[in-house]
A and B are shown apart, each in its own frame.
Chain A
Amino acid sequence: MRSDPTTAPRVRLRLPILLESVVGRRELELRGTTVMEVLEAAFVQFPTLRHHLTVDGSSLRPYVLFILNGVSLDRSLLPSQKVADGDEVLIHQAIAGG
């Protein structure tokens, strides 16, 4: 069940630079009680973010990291990971290579 969007914690979502040209800004201020709720709020505000961050509009694309206050999150925890007022969620491209 979604939290009340008027009272849920206010969280800063930082977007990767490549998606700045998609939505026209690097940061969004959103409300949600979990990381997934924050993401869903971003998808409502900018539906094109759902296109870029998901496969077929549902599952999150591979090689995308979700970092809460500097800590990379296990994807399975996104729906349950609580956030608080002033938290920062960073979306970042996974770095791989070698």
Chain B
Amino acid sequence: MADKVILTVGTKRGLFLLESNRSRGRWNLRGPYLKGWTVHHAMIDTRGKPRIHACAANFTYASSTFSAGLSGKDFKGAETPPVAPSLPSKAMRMAKQWGLDTSARLWAIAPGPVKEPKVLYAGTAPAGLFRSEDTGKTWQPVDALNKHRSRKDWMSGAGGMSLHSIQQDPHDANRLYVGISAAGAFRTDDAGQSFKPINSCVAEYVGAPAESTVGTCVHKLLAHPTTTGRLYQQNHVGVYRSDDHGDSWQRIDAGLPHDFGFGLALNANDPDTCYVIPLEPQEYAFRATDGALGVYRLNKNGRGWKKLAKGLPSKNAYVSVLRQAMTSDALDPCGVYFGTAGGHLFASADEGASWQTVAEFLPPIFSVSAAIV
């Protein structure tokens, strides 16, 4: 039986691994690995022999995916890394006008279907989806999305136009969901041969023409691992749930102090629960509300939110949590984890009821993922 929980923590300056047993009471930190690289996202793929996969960037050298065994000592870059497509002309004009980030980066790496353990997906900025069929050695663009007819209307957010969320449907190998800021969510039902926008009922953000099927600003999108068709998204404007594979969305953020945030996590044992960390909106620079760091859990009946802050700093904590920096594990009770842009890592082994600080003074944390190995 898999008996270890490993957190992969991507930071501005390398990758760190934290390891615990199933009780998740004590954590041992090792690293940094990929020293000198900025690790925007990393995860452990457990479909076969567990391996670490990471997206890394550097000021001087181009971005790449990297892979290693669990020791973290044998990272190897891709032979043909994903190369992000260029920004659409309208988004480029807006980016130049507003001084937005247009640099090419890798934002996400994710496993493909369970029965295809060599298949991985990667997301880039400017937004592009890439598929590997050899566990990350070589990558090919998924043109049905990267050349989608709506692409001309995709816009850049302040963080760039990033494809940050990639979710393989756990029940259908041909179905995949992606989230792009600031274009919206898309779904393929035919293993990437075609994609459709799934943004109905989601508030528009900026730039998209009226009644467009794109132009929403999904910050993070997750598919529930056991409940068919159930998706959640933290949007720039609100938190949403879908029960029909994204064909429609219901807004569920009533009761949160802010509808804005980045992080999102689910409970594999309870499809009605999700976790978010509301942040003060743009004018206040995306910080924890009133300096009191709090995770909010949607109640088990799916109605109302509960603030979970036992063990978290209750004052003077003006930190941010980025979109890849919150996650959960698949144990029961569910473990929930998040890292801050200030380099603190928090863990809960009891579904968020209490928290402990498991690492401090790390570089700014960009991503946190959990695996049972």
Contact = CB atoms under 8 A, between A and B. Distances in A.
A48 B60 contact: no
Determine the interface band of chain A, counting residues with CB < 8 A from chain B: 10 to 19
Contacts of B60: 16, 18, 61, 63-64, 93-94
Contacts of A54: 62
Contact of A52 (B59, B62, B75, B76): B62
Interface string A31-60: 000000000000000011001111000000
B79 A61 contact: no
A24 B66 CA distance: 12
B78 A52 contact: no
B336 interface: no
A19 interface: yes
A23 B64 CA distance: 12
Contact of B62 (A16, A21, A24, A61): A61
Contacts of A84: none
A22 interface: yes
A18 B58 contact: yes
A17 interface: yes
B212 interface: no
Interface residues of B, number: 19
Nearest to A54: B62
B284 interface: no
Interface SS, A side: helix
Given A48-B81, A51-B81, A51-B83, A18 B76 contact: no
A63 B58 CA distance: 11
B80 A22 contact: no
Contacts of B64: 22, 48, 51-52
A47 B139 CA distance: 13
Nearest to B104: A55
Given A52-B64, A64-B60, A93-B60, A18 B78 contact: no
Contact of B80 (A51, A61, A64, A94): A51
B106 to A, nearest CB: 12
B95 interface: no
B339 interface: no
Contacts of A19: 61
The 4 closest A-B pairs by CB, nearest first: A22-B77, A52-B61, A93-B60, A18-B36
Given A21-B77, A23-B77, 8 more contacts: A21-B37, A47-B80, A48-B77, A51-B62, A51-B64, A93-B59, A93-B60, A94-B60
Interface of A: 16-19, 21-24, 47-48, 51-54, 61, 63-64, 93-94
15 contacts: A16-B60, A17-B35, A18-B37, A18-B58, A19-B61, A21-B66, A21-B75, A21-B77, A22-B76, A23-B77, A48-B80, A51-B83, A52-B77, A61-B61, A63-B59
